[in-house]
C-alpha cells in the first residue's frame, strides 16, 4: 500500500444542491491496488500505517483527475482557428483535418498527440468524439489503453452535407460500430459511444441505425452535438420539418441516462424538460462557445430544470485541454450574464471539472472524488517555485482560497503528476518512462 500526503480537495456532494468543498489541509490517502482504502489527516494515518511507503505531495493541491465530457480526437492539430462561426469553422478548419485521419500512420500520430494532451492537462477520464474512420478509432482506443486513460469513444458517423470522404451509410455505420464495440467496449477502461456527428449531417435512417447499435451494445453511451449555433439550429429544423433539435435524437431512442450532448446553448424549455426526464447530460464547453461566438450557455436554466451538466474542452474549437481553463471560462460567462447567471464558487468549478463529469458518464461510483472506495485517479497541481501561482498558493488564506487561485492562474504547466488507478501516468510523451517522479521528498521541477 502507498500513503499519499497532500492538501486534498474534492466535491463528493454536489454544490448545486448544497454540497460543500471537502478539504484535508494536511491529508492522507491510503491506496491499495489503485483503490483509496482510508482517508483522513496524514498524522493519524501515518501513526496507523507506519510501515507503508509515503509519497509526499505537500505544497500545491491534490485534486481528483479531471473528467472531460466532450473533446474531439481528430482535432488536436486544428486548434486556434479563430474568427469563424461554427459551420464555417467546421468546413475550413476541422473537417479537412478530420479527413486526413483516413491515413492510418497519420491517425496513429494524432492519437499519440491527443492522449498525451489529455494526460498533460490532468484529464484522467474522457468522453471522446472519435474519427470518421474505424481504423483511426482503433488507434485512439489502443493509445488510450497504452497510457491508461479512461476513455469512452466511438466511430463518428454522418451521411449528408459534409465533404464526401467523411460520409457513410446506415448499414456501414452499424456494421463498423458494432465491430469496434466488440473489439473495445468493456476492455480495460474503454467503453463504446455511439456517435452521430450532429443531426445536421445525419438523416433519420442513419440515426435509426445509431439507435439500433445503442440497444445492441449493453452499457454503451450516446454522444452528439445539440443547439450550438443559430444557423445550425435553423438548418436542423428545416431538415427535420420543424422538429426541435433534441427530438431528432429522442425519436430514435438515443436520449437517456447514457446520453451526453455537447453545448445546448439555445435550448427550448420543452427540450430542457425532456433532457431532465430522460436523465441525459449536457457537456458545457465554454471556451468553444466563446471562440465560435455560439452564445452564452444558460447554466441557471439547466440547473433549474434539473438537467445534469459537466464540462467539455471541445478541442479543437475549444482553446486547449485544460479543464481548469474551461471552469474559469464558465465562471466568466456566468458573471457576464448578470442576474441571469449562475453564481459559481470554487467548489462549483471543481465539481464541474471532476465529479459532475463522473456522474454524467455513469462513473461516479469509481471516480470524480478522492473518497474511500474510489479509484485513485488524481492530479497534483504544483507550480514552479517562484512563479505567480506559487506565490498565490503560498499566500492563500486556506485551501478553498488556494483552489480559487488555482482556477484563476493554473495551466497545464502546473500539472506536476497524474495517477489513474494509483499508477502514475506519463504527462509528457517525450519523456515517457521517466515517471514515477513523485518521491518522499518532492523533486525539483523539470
Residues that bind Zn ion (CB under 5 A): 262, 314
What size, in residues, is the chain? 446
* Contacting residues for 446 by C-beta, under 8 A, at least 6 apart: none
Q: How far apart are the first and last CA of the chain?
A: 27
Give CA–CA dist 7/26, Å, rounded. 5
Q: Are 345 and 2 in contact (CB under 8 A)?
A: no
The closest of 377, 439, 351, 368 to 124, measured between CA atoms, is 377
Q: How big is the CA angle at 359 (ends 302 and 288), to the nearest 5 degrees?
A: 55
How far does Cα 265 stand from its chain's mean position?
Answer: 18
Nearer of residues 95 and 262 to Zn ion, judged by Cβ? 262
Q: Nearest approach, Cβ of 91 to Zn ion (angstroms)?
A: 15
Nearer of residues 75 and 355 to Zn ion, judged by Cβ? 75
Nearer of residues 297 and 419 to Zn ion, judged by Cβ? 297
Q: Nearest approach, Cβ of 247 to Zn ion (angstroms)?
A: 20
Rg (CA), the chain: 21
Nearer of residues 21 and 262 to Zn ion, judged by Cβ? 262
Nearer of residues 314 and 421 to Zn ion, judged by Cβ? 314
Nearer of residues 98 and 159 to Zn ion, judged by Cβ? 98
Cell of 360: 454524467
Q: Nearest approach, Cβ of 264 to Zn ion (angstroms)?
A: 12
Q: Nearest approach, Cβ of 318 to Zn ion (angstroms)?
A: 8
Give CA–CA dist 333/228, Å, rounded. 15
Nearer of residues 108 and 289 to Zn ion, judged by Cβ? 289
Q: Nearest approach, Cβ of 71 to Zn ion (angstroms)?
A: 8
Q: Are 260 and 235 in contact (CB under 8 A)?
A: no
Q: Using CB atoms within 10 A of its CB, is residue 9 exposed (0-12), middle (13-18) or buried (19+)?
A: buried
Strand order across the beta sheet in which 423-424 lies: 35-41, 22-32, 2-10, 53-64, 378-381, 415-420, 423-424
Q: What is the DSSP string of 142-201?
A: HHHHHHT-EEEEE-EE--SSS-GGG---HHHHHHHHHHHHHHHTTSTT-EEEEEE--GGG
Nearer of residues 65 and 316 to Zn ion, judged by Cβ? 316
Nearer of residues 262 and 381 to Zn ion, judged by Cβ? 262
Q: Is the dihedral of CA 76, 77, 82, 88 positive or negative?
A: negative
Amino acid at each position: 500500500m502507498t500513503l499519499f500526503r497532500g492538501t486534498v480537495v474534492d466535491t463528493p456532494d454536489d454544490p448545486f444542491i448544497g454540497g460543500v468543498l471537502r478539504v484535508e489541509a494536511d491529508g492522507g490517502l491510503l491506496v491499495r491496488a489503485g483503490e483509496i482504502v482510508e482517508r483522513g489527516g496524514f498524522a493519524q494515518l501515518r501513526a496507523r500505517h507506519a510501515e507503508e511507503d509515503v509519497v509526499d505531495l505537500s505544497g500545491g493541491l491534490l485534486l481528483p483527475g479531471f473528467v472531460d465530457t466532450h473533446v474531439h480526437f481528430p482535432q488536436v492539430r486544428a486548434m486556434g482557428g479563430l474568427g469563424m462561426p461554427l459551420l464555417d469553422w467546421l468546413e475550413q478548419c476541422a473537417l479537412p483535418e478530420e479527413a486526413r485521419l483516413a491515413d492510418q500512420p497519420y491517425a496513429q500520430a494524432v492519437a499519440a498527440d491527443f492522449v498525451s494532451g489529455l494526460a498533460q492537462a490532468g484529464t484522467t477520464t474522457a468522453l471522446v468524439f472519435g474519427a470518421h474512420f474505424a481504423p483511426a478509432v482503433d488507434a485512439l482506443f489502443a493509445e488510450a489503453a497504452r497510457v491508461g486513460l479512461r476513455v469512452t469513444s466511438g466511430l463518428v458517423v454522418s451521411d449528408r452535407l459534409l465533404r464526401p470522404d467523411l460520409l457513410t451509410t446506415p448499414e456501414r455505420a452499424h456494421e463498423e460500430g458494432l465491430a469496434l464495440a466488440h473489439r473495445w467496449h468493456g476492455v480495460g477502461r474503454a467503453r463504446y459511444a455511439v456517435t452521430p456527428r450532429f443531426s445536421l449531417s445525419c438523416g433519420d435512417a442513419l440515426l435509426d441505425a445509431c439507435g439500433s447499435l445503442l440497444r445492441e451494445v449493453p452499457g454503451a453511451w450516446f454522444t452528439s452535438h445539440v443547439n450550438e449555433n443559430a444557423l445550425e439550429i435553423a438548418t436542423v429544423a428545416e431538415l427535420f420539418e420543424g422538429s426541435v433539435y433534441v427530438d431528432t435524437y429522442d425519436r430514435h431512442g438515443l436520449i437517456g441516462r447514457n446520453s451526453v450532448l455537447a453545448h445546448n446553448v439555445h435550448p427550448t424549455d420543452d427540450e430542457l424538460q425532456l433532457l431532465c426526464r430522460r436523465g441525459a447530460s449536457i457537456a458545457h464547453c465554454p471556451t468553444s462557445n466563446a471562440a465560435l461566438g455560439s452564445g452564452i450557455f444558460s447554466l441557471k436554466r439547466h440547473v433549474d430544470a434539473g438537467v445534469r451538466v459537466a464540462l467539455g474542452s471541445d478541442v479543437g474549437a475549444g482553446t486547449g485541454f485544460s479543464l481548469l481553463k474551461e471552469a474559469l471560462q464558465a465562471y466568466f460567462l456566468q458573471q457576464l450574464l448578470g442576474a441571469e447567471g449562475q453564481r459559481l464558487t470554487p467548489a462549483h468549478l471543481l465539481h464541474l471539472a471532476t465529479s459532475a463529469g463522473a456522474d454524467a458518464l455513469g462513473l461516479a461510483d469509481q471516480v470524480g472524488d478522492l473518497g474511500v472506495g474510489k479509484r485513485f485517479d488524481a492530479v497534483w497541481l504544483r507550480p514552479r517555485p517562484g512563479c505567480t501561482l506559487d506565490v498565490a498558493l503560498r499566500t492563500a488564506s486556506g485551501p478553498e482560497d488556494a483552489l480559487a487561485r488555482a482556477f484563476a492562474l493554473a495551466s497545464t504547466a502546473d500539472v506536476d503528476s497524474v495517477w489513474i488507478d494509483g499508477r502514475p501516468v506519463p504527462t509528457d510523451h517525450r519523456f515517457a518512462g521517466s515517471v514515477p517522479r513523485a518521491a518522499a521528498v518532492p523533486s525539483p521541477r523539470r
